[in-house]
Amino acid sequence: MKTIKLMHAKLHRVRVTEAKRDYVGSVTIDSQLLEEVGMLPLEEVEIVNINNGNRWSTYVLPGEPGAGQICPNGGGALLCEEGDILVIWANEQRDRAEVLRTGHQAMVVLADEQNRPQKVFAQTLIPHQDSVEFHCEHSRDENLEEFKYKIMAVN
């Protein structure tokens, strides 16, 4: 069995609301955002700071629902400043053959400046013969367009 790591949840362009260095680590995220994409408390996440390129991994703590909180804690607080734009995503291990048979779906939230969901959409791998097709709903000029890319599976 070959396993592959696939993104299953992403918070795109969320803004740092505060950074707490003197904390035991983690990132505190508005629990409404977590629910939208299916991230769990204590789940490991990867983070990239769009403003300065810093990257780190940590785990999630749930914040107050609807408050828009994005708060890197501990060492992660040293890698960002209030107002910085982050991308936060979670991966999962999947059996490659199963993905080719059944597909895969990842949920994405595109956030506004107050960390409210501006758009929520799925990025999906759909089985197609010996390959998968990548489907993504993407916002452009307030219209949803669907982009499809065929990715050939190498067995």
Q: Please give the positions annotated as active site.
A: 26, 59
- Nearest Cα neighbor of 70 from 22, 116, 119, 121 is 116
**Whole-angstrom distance, CA of residue 67 vs CA of residue 55:** 24
* Residues β-bridged to residue 149: 134
Contact 46, 87 (CB under 8 A): no
Q: How far is CA 138 from the centre of its chain?
A: 15
Q: What Cα–Cα distance (Å) separates residue 103 from each residue in 7, 87, 106, 127? A: 13, 24, 11, 5
Token couple for 90 = 């979670």
Query: By C-alpha distance, which of 145, 125, 121, 120 is closest to 135?
Result: 125
